[in-house]
Structure 1
Amino acid sequence: MSKSRNAVPENDLLSVDRDPLRPLAERIRPRTLDEMVGQRRLLAPGSALRRAVESGRVHSMILWGPPGCGKTTLALLLAHYSQAEFRAISAVLSGLPEVRQVLAEAAHRFAEGRRTVLFVDEVHRFNKTQQDAFLPHIERGTIVFVGATTENPSFELNSALLSRCRVHVMEAVSAEDIRLALLHALGDEERGLGGRGLQVGDEALEQISRAADGDVRRGLTLLEIAAELAEGEGGQITAATLAQVLADRTRRFDKGGEQFYDQISALHKSVRSSNPDAALYWLTRMLDGGCDPAYLARRLTRMAVEDIGLADPRALQMALEAWGTYDRLGSPEGELAFAQLVIYLASTAKSNAAYVAYNTARQDVREHGTQEVPLHLRNAPTKLMKQLGYSKGYQYDHDAEGGIALDQTGFPDAMGERVYYQPVERGLEIKLKEKLDRLRAARDAARRTTDGKDG
């Protein structure tokens, strides 16, 4: 009789989950797709991945998601439902010799008509050569490759591996779903904490669920620690017990990974959107996660230049002063200077006109190459230079009517006049726009008059 696709056989990998020496998160690991919490989008009834898993026709894939979202569990279930051997290696602990050995074993198994699901944890830690080692085996079907990563596969995995695998995005598990996992662990007498007489109130479960921060494994670990402490208190998980368990807990933050760049992007875009409250939230998240204050100071200074610009020149000055204030005060006092700066940057007038103007000028420099400086703009400190026409025809603006020689060009002759800077009608740039509009119109009129006389 064939094995049921809806239940895990007793003699497979998950049959060891009764071992009391194993952590609760391992013992209580889901044995069917229905037992998994979270990932409703990815594993919803009728979804492509769920249909593939339940039918046993699984494909090589990359599981991309935060810690504790169920990547390892899903890989195990892929093997169970497809009646395949499960082998796991870690890119942190394994080198190329071990990879080759596992692949050789899989090839032998394949020759005997048996499939292998090879789970590679932290696959982004493998270099290009190590990643390439899997390619021929994936192509031949020797293995069903399942790579797990917390980093963006687009940046961390080579294109050859990505082209042979489907990327599935897994999400952090909600506090509500983590609470369901905790309740299941408390009620399971065979593998969990059931039958121990533990008393856990709804508020305590809520606190543990939130403290897990999207990580089911972390939530179960916190519950297990609380249960051990409660055994000396009559089985009651009290507020005092939780205070010990949840003390100094940290939030998820990878100082160099995907989450890091997502958060700085959120901070920058909140400033740009003139939302000081959201900007302050993301700043606080990054500081809480241990982000380098010097990095934040650089990015905030860039925001002052790029997004506020000449609409409020005080923003740049404030950014530099906040940077210096932090250098003098350190943490935590100096962080208030960053908070004050972020609120101001988000609240003040915005303009990217200078930023756009600079990029447009750069494009002209690339396209037009090395243009000669017009003779009238060149300096003529020697007699020879004067004989060659250097500075000839130059009009000293201070001597011109209104202090500006309107018919005098400042661009190379082959390019003609250009307009890069287009002030917006916000903040100080309102005044700058009024002045430049008048000046540019006057220059156009003066050049038309000069051209008419020349003609």
Structure 2
Amino acid sequence: MNEPLAERLRPKHLKDYLSQTHLVGEQGSLSQQLRNGVIPSMIFWGPPGTGKTTLANIIANESGRPFYTLSAISSGVKDVRDVIEKAKQSGGLFTTKNPILFIDEIHRFSKSQQDSLLQAVEKGWVTLIGATTENPSFEVIPALISRCQVYVLNSFSKEDLEALLNRAIQEDDILSTKNIKLKETEALIRLSGGDGRKLLNIFELIVSSFEEDQDIVITNDDVFKKVQNNTVRYDKTGEQHYDIISAFIKSIRGSDPNAAVYWLARMIEGGEDVKFIARRLLILASEDIGNANPTALVIANNSFQAVSTIGYPESRIILSQCAIYLATSPKSNASYQAIGKAQQLVRQTGDLSVPLSIRNAPTKLMKELGYGEDYKYAHSYENNFAPQEFLPDEIKNTRLYEPGNNAREQSQREFLKQRWKDKYGY
């Protein structure tokens, strides 16, 4: 049985590696480290199909180091310890040629599994290379991440993807024997979503749909028709990860609980990480609901904590409850919009001075300089409010928060109008 096209085309040398020039270009940090022969432990963070596993293999190959690999999905603490013991016995202890231990999807390792790596990394028994699609700041324990360099891999550009297609046609042992013409590439590139592996899987699917001796002319219409008819075939490994989470979030934002639980079921059946789903719900509760229903954030946070403790299969019930609650909540992106406007204002105006009246005055000198002078302590006034200026003079009276059109935020608008009168135009 033939290997998949993506595996057949996997480069073995840095000179053949496409994309990520910020890492592997002439002045890239990884290129320089390979030239110097000093390879630190590192974590590759990036979307699927951006070459994380390939890069780890190339580093091992070009540095002449033993290479061990584990998958966080199927490996336990015992597996980690067994591999570390093998690495120690391979003769690399305390030399620049210590073995490389590659862990795919390291974000799925539990704390105890990650803890089992610490000594090996610290003592130099292995050089760890972890791959993750999740932000390692959230998913990798601080003690481990502090011992690793974190490198970000980006989705492939249009030029990278087109180069990959051309390489497949010209260099693959099977495809190079066929008469293939890429008349149009937009559909292939669009469906790939910047994922090189997904692009090659779709491309192989399209090519295999033609008769053996038939000339192969690939158009956008052909790609869309054939991919829609063979979705399961090219997506059975879960490569629609980002498409489906997008559909899930947009269904909740659009207040459709039926679509929300459908996409949730798709993710659960596909083995999606329970914390990945819960984290997206937590973000949505603030970004898309916010103060229209502040309880949504509480529910989402409690759901995240609950599923982190319980895991599958019971977590599916908690996720369903949370998704339905968020879908049926009133929506507002006012907080999201407000912080965006505020950050843009900061970029435009720079480091404006804090008004003297609201500066901290812990010393006598600061008080003599006027720090905190004329500050009105709100609780000393009627209704716990006293009009005063809290923004820098250059941007005073600037309204950044625009309450949403829902009952709760309209009551906030009335509150602000009563307190600030015409100052902010509420």
Q: For this structure pair, what is the TM-score category when the shorter chain's length is used for normalisation?
A: 0.5 to 0.7
User: Is contact 2:385-2:419 (8 Å) kept?
Assistant: no
Hey, what's the Cα distance between the residues in 1 that align with 2:16 and 2:206?
23
CA displacement at 1:153 relative to structure 2: 0.7
5 Å-filtered alignment, 1:51-450, equals 51-110=32-91, 115-190=98-173, 193-197=175-179, 199-203=180-184, 205-232=185-212, 234-239=214-219, 241-247=222-228, 251-253=240-242, 290=263, 300-302=288-290, 304=292, 415-417=380-382, 418-419=384-385, 436=419
User: Is contact 2:183-2:217 (8 Å) kept?
Assistant: no
Hey, what's the Cα distance between the residues in 1 that align with 2:57 and 2:8?
14
The one-character-per-residue Cα deviations of 1:398-453 (angstroms, maximum 9, x if unpaired) are: xxxxxxxxxxxxx97xx5553278897789999977764679xxxxxxxxxxxxxx
2:102 partner letter? F
Q: Percent identity, aligned pairs only? A: 29
Hey, what's the Cα distance between the residues in 2 that align with 1:135 and 1:347?
41
The one-character-per-residue Cα deviations of 1:155-211 (angstroms, maximum 9, x if unpaired) are: 111111111111111111123211111110110154x521222x23231x3321221
Give 5+ residue unaligned stretches, structure 2: 265-276, 295-323, 343-377, 389-396, 404-409
The one-character-per-residue Cα deviations of 1:212-259 (angstroms, maximum 9, x if unpaired) are: 111111111111111211234703144464234421578542888xx9
Q: In the comparison of the two structures, how many residue pairs are matched?
A: 307
Hey, what's the Cα distance between the residues in 2 that align with 1:436 and 1:342?
23
- Structure 1 residues 305, 60: closer, same or farther in 2, change over 3 A? same
The one-character-per-residue Cα deviations of 1:104-135 (angstroms, maximum 9, x if unpaired) are: 11000135875311100011111111111111
- Structure 1 residues 200, 159: closer, same or farther in 2, change over 3 A? same
Aligned to 2:310: none
Aligned to 1:29: 10
User: Is contact 2:247-2:263 (8 Å) kept?
Assistant: no
- Structure 1 residues 87, 430: closer, same or farther in 2, change over 3 A? closer
Query: Per the alignment, in what secondary structure is the counterpart of residue 246 of structure 1?
Result: helix
Query: Per the alignment, in what secondary structure is the counterpart of residue 62 of structure 1?
Result: strand
**More deviation, 67-76/227-236:** 227-236
The one-character-per-residue Cα deviations of 1:296-352 (angstroms, maximum 9, x if unpaired) are: 68853325579xxxxxxxxxxxxxxxxxxxxxxxx9xxx9x99x977999999x999
Hey, what's the Cα distance between the residues in 2 that align with 1:347 and 1:48?
37
The one-character-per-residue Cα deviations of 1:62-116 (angstroms, maximum 9, x if unpaired) are: 1111111000010001101110111111010111222111111100013587531
Hey, what's the Cα distance between the residues in 2 that align with 1:78 and 1:300?
43
User: Is contact 2:290-2:333 (8 Å) kept?
Assistant: no
Hey, what's the Cα distance between the residues in 1 that align with 2:286 and 2:336?
16
Hey, what's the Cα distance between the residues in 2 that align with 1:34 and 1:122?
26
Hey, what's the Cα distance between the residues in 1 that align with 2:206 and 2:244?
29
- Structure 1 residues 229, 110: closer, same or farther in 2, change over 3 A? same
User: Is contact 2:71-2:104 (8 Å) kept?
Assistant: yes
